């Protein structure tokens, strides 16, 4: 036999759209989305940041978004001849939404960078960002590809970053990587009015890119800092001769964004 509890239920299709807004709900009834960011300092030699995050009471869903650290730029390594340059890549992106329980602990790490400026033709890759804990398995975002300098003009534009990543890659729901810029630079030494540039890629949904350029300059080192998860700048030169080498800059710190409700 039916009772009052059975009759008092209201179906969603019985409520006209827009009639019950958030302003008509009791305080605390509607979901409350909270966001927390974890990242290393934006300065030279950033170590990233690792910590333990505990899920607040009452939280049932959490979304983790990761960005790996940017790769380091290369040095201007061919001191006695012209060369061309490939900027470092920004860190990859990965996201995962899971069910959780208040009181659960997660190990969270925003990746850092290799703490040394490179004088060599190749920089260093950025470190991965990751989260470990309940309902997660091998969840991470790789660091960006290193910058490269090359005096062999037969090498054409290539990208060493991941071109395509499928759902489920690196333990997440959706991952993405930015393309690494192709080689650019002078074809002749010390060319007046010729502009030399290199572009470091940024990180998906965070930073587009950074670019440094010079016009007839013996040597320019890469900037020591870069935006979060962005590739570091490479050193550049337009001069052929001994003793004109320079250091590449370092990539930006990785980042983790936690959204929970």
pLDDT tens per residue across span 30-64: 667 899 999 998 877 788 999 999 999 989 999 99
pTM, 2 dp: 0.80
8 vs 120: which has the higher pLDDT: 120
The conformation of residue 121, written as its DSSP 8-state character, comes to S
- For residue 211, the model assigns a pLDDT of 65
Cβ atoms within 10 A of the Cβ of 7, count?
7
Over residues 141-152, mean pLDDT: 85
Q: Which pLDDT belongs to residue 111?
A: 94
pLDDT of residue 240: 60
- CB neighbour burial string for 216-238, b if at least 16 within 10 angstroms, e if fewer: eeebbbbbebbbbbbbbbbbbbb
CA gyration radius for the chain?
Answer: 24
pLDDT per residue over 150-209, tens digit each?
Answer: 777 666 556 666 667 778 889 999 998 877 766 665 555 554 445 555 667 778 888 776
Of residues 239 and 252, which shows the higher confidence score? 252
In tens, the pLDDT along 74-106 reads 887 776 666 777 788 889 999 999 999 999 999
For residues 178 and 214, the model is more confident at: 178
Q: What residue segments make up the domains of the chain, in order of their start?
A: 54-261
């Amino acid at each position: 036999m039916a009772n009052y509890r059975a009759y008092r239920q209201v179906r969603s299709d019985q409520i006209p759209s827009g009639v019950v807004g958030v302003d008509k709900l009791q305080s605390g009834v509607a979901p409350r989305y909270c966001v927390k960011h974890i990242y290393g300092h934006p300065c030279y030699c950033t170590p990233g940041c690792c910590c333990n995050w505990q899920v607040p009471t009452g939280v049932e869903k959490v979304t983790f978004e990761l960005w790996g650290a940017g790769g380091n730029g290369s040095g201007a390594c061919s001191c006695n001849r012209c060369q061309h340059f490939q900027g470092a890549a920004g860190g990859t992106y990965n996201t995962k939404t899971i069910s959780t329980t208040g009181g659960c602990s997660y190990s969270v790490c925003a990746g850092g960078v290799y703490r040394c400026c490179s004088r060599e033709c190749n920089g260093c890759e950025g470190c991965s960002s990751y989260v470990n804990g309940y309902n997660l398995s091998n969840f991470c975002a790789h660091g960006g590809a290193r910058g490269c300098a090359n005096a062999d003009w037969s090498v054409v534009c290539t990208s060493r970053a991941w071109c395509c990543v499928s759902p489920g890659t690196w333990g997440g729901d959706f991952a993405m990587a930015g393309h690494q810029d192709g080689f650019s630079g002078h074809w002749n030494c010390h060319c007046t009015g010729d502009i030399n540039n290199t572009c470091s890629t940024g990180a998906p949904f965070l930073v587009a890119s950074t670019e440094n350029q010079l016009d007839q300059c013996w040597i320019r080192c890469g900037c020591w800092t870069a935006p979060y998860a962005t590739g570091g700048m490479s050193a550049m030169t337009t001069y052929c001769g001994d003793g004109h080498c320079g250091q590449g800059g370092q990539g930006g710190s990785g980042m983790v964004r936690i959204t929970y409700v």
